[in-house]
Amino acid sequence: MKKPLLTLTILLLTGTFAYAEDQPLHHHPLMQDMEVTKDSRTTLNLRAPVREHQLSMMREHLQAVNDIISDIARGKFEDASQIAHQKLGLTPEMKKMCNRYHNADFRKLGLAFHQSADELGDVLKTGDINKSLKALNATMNYCLQCHATFRQ
Ligand code: HEC
Q: Which residues contact 105 (CB under 8 A, 6 or more apart)?
A: 42, 149
The alpha carbon of 55 and the centre of ligand 1 are apart by a number of angstroms equal to 7
- Select from 99, 143, 152 the residue to mutate for testing ligand 1; criterion: most ligand atoms less than 8 Å from CB: 143
C-beta of 115 in contact with ligand 1 (< 6 A): no
User: CA-to-CA distance for 67 and 71, rounded, in angstroms?
Assistant: 6
Average pLDDT per consecutive 10 residues, the chain (152 residues; last block may be shorter): 55 45 53 70 96 97 98 98 98 96 97 98 98 98 98 98
User: CA-to-CA distance for 134 and 55, rounded, in angstroms?
Assistant: 26
42, exposed or middle or buried, with CB in 10 Å at 0-12, 13-18, 19+?
exposed
